Structure formats: C-alpha cells, structure tokens
Amino acid sequence: MRNVNRTLQDTDRSLLPILAKFWDVNVAGLDNDERITALTDAMLDAERAERVWNTLDDAQRGALQMLIGAGGKMPMAKFGRLFGEIRQMGTAKLEREKPHENPQSIAEALFYRGLVSQGFEHTDAAPRVVIYVPDDMLRVLPIHQTGYSNLEAPETGPDEPITIEPLADLDDIQPQPASTSTVDDMTTLLAFVQLHSPFVTDGTLAEDDRAALRPYLLGPEDDRLTFLFALALSADLVEIQTGRVYTKRAETRRWLSAGRAVQVRELAERWHESHVCRDLWHIPGLHPEPGGELDDYDPAAPRDAVFGLMGALVPRQEWWSLDDFIEAIKILEPDFQRPGGDYESWYIRNDAGDYLKGFESWDAIEGALLEYYVTGPMHWLGLVDRAEDAARLTAYGRAFLGQIPWPQPPEQDDKIIVQPDGTLLVSRKASRVDRFQVARFTSWGAASDPYPYKLDGEGIQRAAEQGINTGHIANFLSRVLEDKPIPPAIAGLLENWRGGPSAVVSLEQLAVLRTTAPETMDKILDTPGIRRYLGARLGPMAVIVRGDQRDALRDALGEHGFQVDL
C-alpha cells in the first residue's frame, strides 16, 4: 500500500491541521507541501509514534493490531463491520462535529489520528475500498506493546487457525454416495440435442424440451437439469444459434470418446472456471434481480476462493459438518463473492418477496450458496458424498481440490446386448460414444441401468434424416455382436427399410391444422407454447394435431392472437 507521504498527499487538506495537532506539529505559515513534509517527518518519528500509540485505549490498540496482523490492510466493509464506520466530513462539518475529539467508533478514532487511511486496490473481480496502515508507519509503531492483550477479538485472528474436525458421531449419518451419473446424463443430453435441436428460453432449455428430456435422465430434478445444460455450454460441447441448441461435433465426439475419469475431470474443471453456470441464480428460495453490481457478477471468482479454503479446512477422508464449513468461511473470507464488501447494492428477494440486504443476510445468501456448491454441483459431479448437514470428499473431490493426483481407475467397457426383438441394452459402463450412436437410430426407453433402446421404424427414419442409413446401422450392430449374425427380426427390419420407409404403412384418423399462408405455419411452429400440441408437418400449410389436444390447441392459438375456425 502507500507510504505516509503519499497518503497525506491524497488526504483532504482540511484534515491536515487536525493531524498536525495530534502529532504535535506546528504548521502555521506553511503551504500545503510544507505541511505534508513536516507531518511525514513527525509521523515517522518513533518517539512521537509511541506517544500517539499511548493515547489509544485497549479496544483501539487491539483493532490496529488486528489490522497489522492481517497484513496491514483489510476491505473497508469488513473493517467497518468489526470496528464501526468512518464519517467523511468537509471543513465546516469537521469544525462542528469534531470527530477527532468525539469519535463515534474505533475506526473513526484511528482514522482521525492518521493511524489508518482509506485507499483502493484492484482485485481480479473489481476494485475495492480498503483500510490500511501506511507501509513505513508499520516500522515505527510500538506494536510489541501488549496493552491490547485483554481485548476479546470479534473473530479468529491469525494466531488462532480455524480447523474443521471430523464428525465423531456417525450413527445418524444416512449417506447419499456420490456417483458419476452426470457423465451419463450429459451423454443423454448431447444425443437429445443432436436429434432435436431444442429451443432455448432465458438461457436454458425451453420447458417443452425439458419435459421431453426428463424421462431419459438419471437425475431429472429441475435444478440439476439447469446445471447440466449450463455445464454443456461451459464445456463447449453445445452452442446456441438463433434460439436453438446444436452439438459442437468435434468437441462432443472427443469428450464422448474419453474415459470416465477424464470426462469427470473435464466437467468439474469447466464448472470451476465457468461464467455460464451462475450458481447464485439456481439456489432455491433466492431470486436475484437485474441491476447494480449483480450485472457484473463473476460466478467463477467465488468458486475459486471457496475451493482454495476448502482444500485447507475440511478433513480429507472423513465426514465433516456443512454448518461448520459455512461458519469457517464466514469468519475467514466472508466477502468471498463480494470483492468490494458491498452488502447493499444487490437486489435479491426471498420467496416472501423481501429484499435481502446488509451483512445480516449473509447466511441467507452466501451461506446458501456454499451449501449449494457442496450439495448440488459437487455432489452431482461425484466430488462429495452428502448427508443431512454433512459431507465427505471422494477421491475425485480430493483431486479436484489439488490434494492428490487425479484418479485413473481401470475401465473395461461393458458390451451392448442386442435382443432378438430389436431392443438394445446399453450399460452405464458401456462406451459413451457407442451409446450416443445407438440413441441416434432407436426409440428411447426411460432412463435405467442398462438403458433400453428399441430399433424400430421411427428410429430408422430419424437416423435417415441425419444421414445414417440402414447399412451404417447394420455395420454398427455387426461390430457390437462381434461379427455374430444379426437376429432375423432385426435383419428383416433393416432390409425392409433399405429402400426407405415405403415398406411400412399405417392407417390413421387424424386432426389437421391448416393455415392460409406458409409464413403463418412457420410462426406457429416457432412458438413453444403452441408447438407442444402438434405432430409431424404435412406440408407448407398443414400439420398434424396430437391426439386429444384439439381443445388445448385452440385455446393456445387464441392466446397468441390466431383466429381459429373448427
């Protein structure tokens, strides 16, 4: 930080006479530069510094000693929470209020004696105001004196390291072991995007597409699906173009072809550094609003701060209390996501609609974010086992925090089972790139282990739309079967479809929506609230209405301003 001379140069001139009186310096008749020089000499004189030190009471000396022990500086917001505010005054108010004679806080007593000052420092996230002791003053203050020793510090000091002890009583622990199912759900998501190019609303999958995808996920919870999609964007596996999602084929194939340990590591590291995964927006019960400093929120910075502390605080292999972890962060680094220490300018409501302001809302916001990190993404990514108010690092979690090398467990891919009726059973332990390929030419069954996929006409037709013909499918099956004969029913199905879908016929009674112009039909199909009731398009101005959806479709069309004739 700055030295005494530079600090005085940046100090309001109206303060110089007050400081001169305290430090017993005669500045009468001196110009501003001469005053600063005389004050600098006085404030760096060890005898005068000791006299000023002795005017402090125990609480003031304790505050100054704590600031010095913290490296000589502290964010102003944190210093203010501990030792009170510093009122800023002009010349007239200084003469009227006399804060140097009647300080209203410990911080103010130190400031108007020239022992601490305010300045700015730049952090990775944003500039912040700090309270500091000038560098060269540290050398002359008699900090060896112990008049502050009876002060009860408001937080753990540097000589009292915080540790989180392992939980001793494990009788009530009902663990939910971590798994790497996010790898499997990411494979499903990528296949879904490849087939359907789903729509995006407010930065995530549109609700119709989320509803269509959920049955095929091992973890279908809404917040987990939101995280999964943000993670796919962060890992550069998908991209958004004109409101729809598409796979990035080279990156997708590279990730799918990797081993599970590598896949877990890449997803965890991409989350760690992601600016897309805005965790604060995904916490149940919190509703951040645009405006203020939240518009410049950097979600990667708080993760980085927290994971550095977590690696030093929590036991490596035992269960630990989540409440203890949150309390330790509150003591050691409360401003981990607010570099400026500002607890007033963010607009965040709770479920009751109340704004959460001030440091008293720390537990509701910062505490909730820490809990989300551990019980949400870290658990979903296989980094921690969780229980009620407890967690335990897995081997992946210890590697994520840099405690051990990243695990490389041996893998042996399970074989895909091809049943005579055309059902393909694909284990979670099977190659993810193979399951992705199977998903492109089959109809999907609900998520389970193994995943069931049915080779049928619908799947073959969908494959044809992607340029996958029956020859490609037959070659894939032959490889899976290790050159054993393809079951007769499957071989017959592929043969019937070799020339296209003409071998399959159906007789159906359908409701049809017709428009008077192709542009109207395009607009209807681009509206998610209407598209959900429609099936295949029959031409530029006609589309099938899904069964028993006619009345709901009529209402949806009316809500979007379309006149409907039945």
- Residue in the structure block whose two tokens are 């996929």: 453
Please give the Cα distance from 260 to 273 (Å, whole number): 20
Poorest-confidence range of 75-79, 131-135, 245-249, 505-509? 505-509
**pLDDT single digits (tens) 180-210:** 999 999 999 999 999 999 999 989 999 999 9
DSSP 8-state code for residue 530: H
Are the beta carbons of 539 and 503 closer than 8 angstroms? no
Please give the Cα distance from 194 to 323 (Å, whole number): 42
Is residue 80 pLDDT above 70, yes or no?
A: yes
Supply 390's token pair.
């407890």
Poorest-confidence range of 335-339, 363-367, 413-417, 498-502? 498-502
Residue type, 90: G
Please give the Cα distance from 226 to 464 (Å, whole number): 31
List, in sequence order, every beta strand (DSSP E) within 102-216. Answer: 117-122, 127-132, 200-201, 204-205
Please give the Cα distance from 210 to 194 (Å, whole number): 15
Integer CA distances (angstroms), 291 to 10, 282, 345, 354, in order: 32, 18, 8, 16
- Residue in the structure block whose two tokens are 């607890």: 343
Is residue 157 pLDDT above 50, yes or no?
A: no
**pLDDT single digits (tens) 402-439:** 999 999 988 888 999 999 999 999 999 999 999 999 99
Q: Quickly count: other Cβ atoms within 10 Å of residue 467's Cβ.
A: 7
Please give the Cα distance from 103 to 118 (Å, whole number): 17
Is residue 154 pLDDT above 50, yes or no?
A: no
Integer CA distances (angstroms), 372 to 67, 125, 189, in order: 32, 21, 23
Q: Give me the phi and psi of 344, to 5 degrees please.
A: -120, -25
User: Region 343-370: what's the mean pLDDT?
Assistant: 93
Distance of CA 16 to the CA centre of its chain: 47
Q: Quickly count: other Cβ atoms within 10 Å of residue 497's Cβ.
A: 21
Higher pLDDT, 129 or 394: 394
Poorest-confidence range of 97-101, 223-227, 417-421? 97-101
pLDDT-derived band at 81 (thresholds 50, 70, 90) equals confident
Task: Compute the mean pLDDT over every residue in the chain, rounded to the nearest whole number.
Answer: 88
Q: Quickly count: other Cβ atoms within 10 Å of residue 100's Cβ.
A: 18
pLDDT for position 125: 53
pLDDT-derived band at 354 (thresholds 50, 70, 90) equals very high
510: Cβ–Cβ under 8 A, 6 or more apart, which residues? 544, 545
% of the chain beyond a pLDDT of 70: 94
User: Of 106, 117, 67, 258, whose CA–CA distance to 180 is shortest?
Assistant: 258
Encode burial over 405-427: b for 16+ CB neighbours within 10 A, e otherwise.
Answer: ebeeeeeeeebbebeeebbbbbe
Is residue 260 pLDDT above 50, yes or no?
A: yes
pLDDT for position 503: 53
Are the beta carbons of 356 and 285 closer than 8 angstroms? no
pLDDT for position 501: 56
pLDDT for position 155: 45
**pLDDT single digits (tens) 448-483:** 999 999 999 999 999 998 889 999 999 999 999 997
Q: Quickly count: other Cβ atoms within 10 Å of residue 489's Cβ.
A: 13
Are the beta carbons of 249 and 309 closer than 8 angstroms? no
Query: What is the SS3 assignment for 326?
Result: helix
Sign of the alpha-carbon dihedral angle for 333, 339, 342, 343: negative
pLDDT-derived band at 161 (thresholds 50, 70, 90) equals low
DSSP percent split of the chain into helix, strand, coil, nearest 5 = 45, 10, 40
Higher pLDDT, 528 or 157: 528
- Residue in the structure block whose two tokens are 């990667």: 300
pLDDT-derived band at 148 (thresholds 50, 70, 90) equals very low
β-pair partners for 240: 245
Please give the Cα distance from 259 to 538 (Å, whole number): 43
Please give the Cα distance from 564 to 554 (Å, whole number): 7
Are the beta carbons of 357 and 208 closer than 8 angstroms? no
Global confidence as pTM: 0.71
Is residue 121 pLDDT above 90, yes or no?
A: no
**pLDDT single digits (tens) 2-45:** 898 998 888 888 888 888 888 888 888 888 888 999 999 999 99
User: Region 531-547: what's the mean pLDDT?
Assistant: 88
Q: Quickly count: other Cβ atoms within 10 Å of residue 300's Cβ.
A: 18
Contacts 24+ apart (CB under 8 A), 532-535: 532/208
Residue type, 72: G
Q: Quickly count: other Cβ atoms within 10 Å of residue 522's Cβ.
A: 13
Residue 399 parent element (H or E): helix 395-400
Is residue 550 pLDDT above 70, yes or no?
A: yes
Residue type, 92: A
Please give the Cα distance from 377 to 360 (Å, whole number): 26
User: Of 331, 332, 330, whose CA–CA distance to 370 is shortest?
Assistant: 330
Please give the Cα distance from 215 to 407 (Å, whole number): 31
pLDDT for position 237: 98
pLDDT-derived band at 133 (thresholds 50, 70, 90) equals very high
pLDDT-derived band at 156 (thresholds 50, 70, 90) equals very low
DSSP 8-state code for residue 363: I
